[in-house]
Structure 1
Amino acid sequence: MPATDGKKGPANRPKVVFAGKMGGLLNVKYAFLQAVAADYGFAPLLAADPDDDHKLLRESGLPVLARCTPADVADAAAIVLDDFVDNTALKQFPLPRVPVIQLWHGVPLKKIGFPEISSAVNMTPEKAARLTRLYSGYASVPSTSPWMTEQLFSGVFQAEAFPELGFARNDVLLRAPGRNDMLGVDVDLYAHVARHRKAGGKVVVYMPTFRDTGGSFLEDGVIDPMVINAFCARHDILFLAKFHHSIRVDSFRKLPGFCVYNSGCDIYPLLPMADALITDYSSIYFDFMLLDKPLIFFPYDKEKYISRDRELFYDYASMTPGLHVRSQEELVSAILRTAMHGDDPHAAARRSLRDTVFARVDALSAHRVCNHIKDLVTSNKEC
């Protein structure tokens, strides 16, 4: 499909505007790429941040809206998001009265949406009013399984439907990445990880979530990157860390064993090369379960996090099938146990939770999402 500034869709097809980033929350990225790759009866356009993705998309011949204006979306037949509209190129726009599909960006462990509004933790009337607006008004919020719909998504969002389609971004975990999948990926670090794996080295990925009230592994002094670097050098392990964009770790970017992945880049094509994932309260671990590899949970500040940052939907221990560690010493021991020695004591519990959270384990979620968008556009047109 040729690049366009998207005033009209080709052949007068209904225009569907996707708003997201190539290295952002990613369900929009992979759904958009699927919509471009196949014929779903609508014209997909990505409303991109001109400073981040516009040039990249134009050079790849993909249909992109640059410096998006209200006129660009006024004739849209549907809007597709994976974040709040305030965090996209459509922020502040009066959106047309068309279906808005919220692809969201993960299975929530921490409370979000209306359950968070009802929580006493870190909540103000102003925040509650904003969250009420942002979690409301959707035509659909795709879910991943009946359990997810009933237990979580239907209570988190106000939406007309919760179709169980899966997350588009997870497709690349279950198939080889294509050329366009690599848009927004740190391709140099991808190649470095691939070479390390080919040479027989091990890879662990560390992806902690952010703290609403501040703090990080650096500020809290729980991990010394120099110690992790030396440990990994001894054991031929690559420790690949991706942090929230608010955490500044520039001084550690060039360590050979402690690699920092750009927070604005897509890491999903790299995840299948990991031997284990380390996280805390991030939804990334649910997606990683699709790879059937060990999880290490590092909730070093659990008591503070639950009491000051976010309440959790469920008891932490019951929803985190993996090794639990609270210190750097315990962490390196868990890395040796899982990545180096292949010990996976929580495999059965992890697979059970995976099958509860994901009704389908395949690489067809983006295809189902695009068919769903087509159906919404068609039914809305007929009304």
Structure 2
Amino acid sequence: MHSYPTRPASPMREHLHSSDTATPERPLSPASPTPSMADLLSRIEATEALGGQISQAIEQLVDAVLHLQQPAPSTPAAPAADPAALAALERRVQALEQQTQLAQACQELTRTAQFHPKERSVVFVGTTYFGCNVKYAWLAFRERARQEGITAWFLPQTAQQEQAVTSLGEACFPLNPNDWSTEHVHAALSAAVVVTCDHLLNPNPYAAALLAGARHVQLWHGISIKEIGLRNLAPLRQMSARFARVLSTCGPYTRLVGTSAAQEPEWRRWFGFAQYAPIGYPRNDVLLREPDAADLLNVDQDIYTLARKTRAAGQRVVLYAPTFRDARRGTWLLESGLEQLAQGLAKRGDLLIVNVHPVESPLIPQLALAIPTARFVTPRTDLYPVMRETSLLITDYSSVMFDYLLLDRPIVLFRPDHQDYITRSRQLFDAKLDEHPGPLATSAKALLDMLRQPDAQAGKFAHVRAAMRQRLFDHTDGRAGERFCDLVLDELAAAL
């Protein structure tokens, strides 16, 4: 995840969600009286007084109202305004009012959060799926929190996350902002520490403002060879409010967690933070120990069980986990030769598990029909316990390759569209790969030929993987969760 030229065609779309918008506009109630032109103009004028940043939209609305008021050129008197046009205009005014009121409320809540008294409370912010560093950091911290008299809240991003957290009897904010009580608002404003592993873009539009006064620990979601954060920019002609919002969440953090001290300069290219903590990623602990019941929350149980049985039977489990493309989204997979790969591995008796990136997961039904011998991981599930049950990894630019080093198993790089990727999707920070952790294939045929020589793959690149693991991981003991707990206690002490 990632002087270098930037890639205008890559506006951080994997971090932009449809939920990252203002409160949805409410439909015009059939029972509501039809608004008058004077009423609409009055409301627009009042909204304009609150929101100088949306003056262009307001001018357009005013023009629309005045246009509806104008008489037709050939008639002496203005005809009655079209009810449908008035209703559409009313909805636009309502949306504008809500957007402006939300922006103003968040501005004031941000200020409130910065002086609100803090308590021994930590908020873990869920990302698009329950299976990244925040999941494992939160699981690791629960018992320590109870011992130390600390409240550990979870802020979900999906209903599934809310259900998973509440099923364990832990403190969880409601997913729906309308369900937040005064106690929930107080808890968010009182939080001394907030923990994230991605851009803080929660569906609750008030969340970031309510947590603005907390010390911010950023775990991120993996070592990157792609340019990310402050190095993943767009020209101003492509700039939007949502894109700018993502950039604004690239800091400032109190601490950014990484896996090795040597990587600090890279992270400072991408994010703004005060201190760097090379303690390791909590999610990697499960690669080095048997998962427990909580670890298996949001894991594709069918795939996990199948992989365990297959390896236990002495067969090879091949995991293919590519990243997504900004350009040719999804279609590149159909053209990559995946069907040829699946057929070749099936003939050999291998199990092929494919983990499609969530951004491209809508293509899975089509892929599953075309490639019946492959097994596809359920989108937005936790892959890490499954990774532990695989024999080798095929990937391209995904940070999964670095985590897989901890297992010391073969890695094969498959980049069938490399030039198109670096031209139209992402600029690479590939210098960290002075040597690849495994062989590089650019076609499905070449990839299959490599996979037919498992003995050669097992040892040829072992020294490269070992050197890379030593450089990228200061700790390989499976105790990142423990070090994270100590870090949070330090942050609480500093806040209080």
Instruction: With the length of structure 1 as denominator, give the TM-score of the two structures.
Output: 0.87
Q: Given the alignment of the two structures, is residue 54 of structure 1 paired with residue 168 of structure 2, yes or no?
A: no
Amino acid at match of 1:135: C
Q: Residue deviations 1:181-210, cap 9 Å, x none?
A: 000101122111111111111101111111
CA shift digits 1:147-170 (9 cap, x unpaired): 1113x1122110011111111100
What does residue 43 of structure 1 align with? 151
Q: 1:273 aligns with which of 389, 396, 411?
A: 389
Cα distance between partner residues in 1 of 2:143 and 2:128 = 16
Select which of 332, 337, 345 maps to 1:223: 337
In structure 2, what is the equivalent of residue 304 of structure 1? 420
Structure 1 residue 168 and structure 2 residue 282: aligned? yes
Unaligned 5+ runs, structure 2: 1-117
Determine if contact 1:22/1:265 at 8 Å carries over to the other structure.
no
Which residue number in structure 2 is paired with residue 337 of structure 1? 453
Instruction: Say which of 223, 240, 249 aligns to 2:353.
Output: 240
Match for 1:66 among 174, 177, 181? 174
Contact 2:119 2:192 in 1 (8 A): no
8 Å CA contact retained: 2:195, 2:216: yes
Tell me, what secondary structure is at the counterpart of 2:277? coil
Aligned residue number for residue 3 of structure 1: none
Q: Secondary structure of 1:161's match?
A: strand
More helix by share: 2
The question of whether the paired residues in 1 share the 8 Å contact of 2:326 and 2:425 is answered with: yes
Cα 1:323/1:30, change in 2 over 3 Å = same
1:355 is aligned to 2:470: yes
Structure 1 counterpart SS, 2:283 = helix
Residues paired across the two proteins, number? 365
Cα distance change on mapping 1:342 and 1:314 into 2, 3 Å = closer
Kept in 1, the 8 Å contact 2:415–2:443? The answer is: no
Partner Cα distance (1:83, 1:192) in 2: 31
The percentage of counterpart residues that share the same residue type is: 27
Q: Distance in 2 between matches of 1:305 and 1:46?
A: 36
CA distance in 1, matches of 2:167, 2:444: 44
State how far apart, in whole Å, the 1-side matches of 2:312 and 2:277 are: 40
Q: Is the 8 A contact 1:106 1:283 kept in 2?
A: yes
* Counterpart residue identity of residue 159, structure 1: F
Letter in 2 for 1:232: L
One-letter amino acid matched to 2:151? A
Mark the CA change 1:24 to 1:179 in structure 2 (over 3 Å): closer, same or farther.
closer
- 8 Å CA contact 2:199–2:246 kept in 1: the answer is no
CA contact (8 A) 2:130 2:161 kept: no
Shift of 1:42: 2.1
Q: Deviations over 1:4-49 (max 9, x none)?
A: xxxxxxxx97111101159445100000001113335522121113
> 131-140 or 167-176, which moves further after superposition?
131-140
The answer to whether the 8 A contact 1:20-1:28 is kept is: yes
Change in Cα spacing, 1:40 to 1:280, as seen in structure 2 (3 Å) is farther
* Alpha-carbon distance in structure 2 between the residues aligned to 1:82 and 1:123: 29
Change in CA separation of 1:40 and 1:270 when aligned onto 2, cut-off 3 Å:
farther
From 358, 374, 378, the equivalent of 2:489 is: 374
RMSD between superposed Cα atoms in Å? 2.6
Q: Counterpart amino acid of 2:169?
A: G
How far has the Cα of 1:299 moved from its partner? 1.4
Q: Is the 8 A contact 1:73 1:96 kept in 2?
A: no
Report the equivalent of 2:273.
Answer: 159
Task: Using the TM superposition, name which of 352-361 and 81-90 deviates more.
Answer: 81-90
Q: Give, in whole Å, the separation in 2 of the partners of 1:337 and 1:90.
A: 53
Rg larger for:
2
Query: Which residue does 1:287 correspond to in 2?
Result: 403
Q: Deviations over 1:330-362 (max 9, x none)?
A: 122222223x76533111111101110101111
Q: CA deviation at 1:138?
A: 0.8
Aligned counterpart, 1:187: 301
- 2:126 — aligned with what? 20
- The structure-2 alpha-carbon separation of the partners of 1:317 and 1:164, relative to structure 1 and needing over 3 Å to count, comes to closer
- SS class of match (2:393): strand
Aligned to 2:254: 139
Amino acid at match of 1:54: E
1:359/1:231 Cα in 2 relative to 1: closer, same or farther (>3 Å)?
same
Q: Deviations over 1:200-237 (max 9, x none)?
A: 11101111111122333655511243x33332222121
Higher deviation after alignment, 328-337 or 28-37: 328-337
Q: Is the 8 Å Cα contact of residues 20 and 89 (structure 1) preserved in structure 2?
A: no
Matched to 1:234, the amino acid is K
Q: Which AA in structure 1 matches 2:347?
A: R
Name structure 1 gaps, 5 residues minimum.
1-11
Give the TM-score normalised by the residue count of structure 2: 0.68
Q: Distance in 1 between matches of 2:290 and 2:318?
A: 20
Q: Is the 8 A contact 1:21 1:53 kept in 2?
A: no
Q: Does the Cα contact within 8 Å between 2:405 and 2:469 map onto a contact in 1?
A: yes
Alpha-carbon distance in 2 for matches of 1:37, 1:201: 38
1:77 touches 1:98 (CA, 8 Å); kept in 2? yes
Question: 1:91 deviation in Å?
Answer: 6.4
User: Structure 1 residues 318 and 186, CA, compared in 2 at 3 Å: closer, same or farther?
Assistant: same
2:138 corresponds in structure 1 to 32
Find the aligned partners of 1:48 and 1:107 in 2 and give their Cα distance.
Answer: 24
CA 1:232–1:144 in 2, change beyond 3 Å: closer, same or farther? Answer: same
